[in-house]
Amino acid sequence: MGEALRLLIENATATEMPTEHILRAAELIRQAAAPLGEHRRGRFDTASADDLLGGIRLYNPVTGEGSAFAPPVDMHREGDLAIGTCTLGRAFEGPPSFAHGGVSAMLLDQMLGYAVTTAGHPGMTVRLDTVYRSPVPLYTPLRMTASITEVNGRRVTATGAITTTTAPTTALVEATGLFVALRSDQAKRLFGPVLDRSA
Ligand SMILES: CCCCCCCC(=O)SCCNC(=O)CCNC(=O)[C@H](O)C(C)(C)COP(=O)(O)OP(=O)(O)OC[C@H]1O[C@@H](n2cnc3c(N)ncnc32)[C@H](O)[C@@H]1OP(=O)(O)O
């Protein structure tokens, strides 16, 4: 379903069809959406397809295969380096033909988060600094990298960059993120209802 939704969003964003076609499509979309809404999970319920501890989040807005919104980014580790790949379509546009700056920050937040989590230092982002060196092109295969630069108690720093796959040494956007490991009282305060319901 995620793939179908992403095709829908891409075509809906790029379409130049006449208004009557768009109105007809809108009605069909409403008809398709209605049965899905008949049984929904609540705010604190995890998706039945998810495995929180195993890191499976089907509807994550960056990596989720089931997400209408995610590019989705494919991530893996090679040694100390986290690597991600994706191609951004029209829905991610900011400046004409290039990605929105907030989208680049979102991709890098997830990349850095993946780097720290898969290195055994899970935490939440408390700071993300981005440097925009060149616009990120749409419809162009992208490569992202991230790695840890410092571990200082509960605070972990990671850096990363977005490049194209054809010029992997030319950073278009760079980011440095600070992640903080939650104390048990913080984890309980923030995620207690979710953990209780998924136990
Ligand atoms: C595979 C998974 C990938 C996931 C990637 C996505 C990651 C995300 O996007 S997470 C979502 C965005 N982030 C958030 O919503 C976090 C919001 N922040 C918070 O809830 C709180 O700041 C929280 C709970 C993390 C930490 O609580 P807080 O009271 O701020 O910090 P505290 O626990 O007292 O301090 C920890 C340390 O971090 C430091 N710190 C906290 N915030 C900052 C900051 N913004 N800048 C610098 N240092 C900071 C503190 O000074 C302290 O340092 P020290 O140990 O030397 O005294």
The closest alpha carbon to 140, from 71, 46, 188, belongs to 71
CATH code of the domain in which 106 resides:
3.10.129.10
Q: What pLDDT is recorded for position 155? A: 98
> Number of structural domains, the chain?
2
CA–centroid distance, 125 to ligand 1, in Å, is 6
Question: What is the chain's Cα-based Rg?
Answer: 19
CA–centroid distance, 93 to ligand 1, in Å, is 30
27 with 103, same domain: the answer is: no
Instruction: With H, G, I as helix, E, B as strand and everything else as coil, classify residue 42.
Output: coil
Please report whether residue 129 resides in a domain. yes
Instruction: With H, G, I as helix, E, B as strand and everything else as coil, classify residue 175.
Output: strand
Burial of 189 (0-12, 13-18, 19+ CB in 10 A): exposed
84 with 182, same domain: the answer is: yes
Q: What pLDDT is recorded for position 54? A: 82
Q: Tell me if 89 sits within 8 A of 139, measured CB to CB.
A: yes
Model pLDDT for residues 107-125, shown as the tens digit of each residue: 999 999 999 999 999 999 9
Please report whether residue 162 resides in a domain. yes
Q: What pLDDT is recorded for position 147? A: 98
Spatial separation of the C-alpha atoms in residues 21 and 26, rounded to whole Å: 9
119 with 187, same domain: the answer is: yes
Please report whether residue 169 resides in a domain. yes
Tell which atom from ligand 1 comes closest to the C-alpha of 186. 24
CA–centroid distance, 126 to ligand 1, in Å, is 4
What residue ranges line ligand 1, CB within 6 angstroms?
55, 109-110, 113-114, 117, 124-127, 153-155, 178, 180, 182-183, 186
Q: What pLDDT is recorded for position 18? A: 98
163 with 99, same domain: the answer is: yes
Q: What is the mean pLDDT of the chain?
A: 96
Please report whether residue 55 resides in a domain. no
102 with 194, same domain: the answer is: yes
Please report whether residue 30 resides in a domain. yes
Please report whether residue 188 resides in a domain. yes
Please report whether residue 66 resides in a domain. no
18 with 91, same domain: the answer is: no
110 with 174, same domain: the answer is: yes
Q: What pLDDT is recorded for position 35? A: 96
Residue nearest to atom 4 of ligand 1 (CA): 113
Its domain, for residue 189, covers 74-198
Spatial separation of the C-alpha atoms in residues 135 and 131, rounded to whole Å: 11
Q: What pLDDT is recorded for position 25? A: 98
Sign of the four-CA dihedral 10, 44, 48, 53: positive
21 with 88, same domain: the answer is: no
CA–centroid distance, 87 to ligand 1, in Å, is 30
Pull the structure tokens for residue 101.
């700056």
Listed as ranges, residues in the chain with pLDDT below 70 are none
186 with 100, same domain: the answer is: yes
81 with 26, same domain: the answer is: no
177 with 86, same domain: the answer is: yes
Please report whether residue 59 resides in a domain. no
Q: What pLDDT is recorded for position 5? A: 98
192 with 117, same domain: the answer is: yes
Q: What pLDDT is recorded for position 53? A: 78
Q: What is the DSSP letter of 182?
A: P
Residues 6+ apart with CB under 8 A from 24: none
Reported ipTM: the value is 0.95
The closest alpha carbon to 67, from 55, 57, 76, belongs to 57
- pTM for this structure? 0.95
Residue nearest to atom 30 of ligand 1 (CA): 126
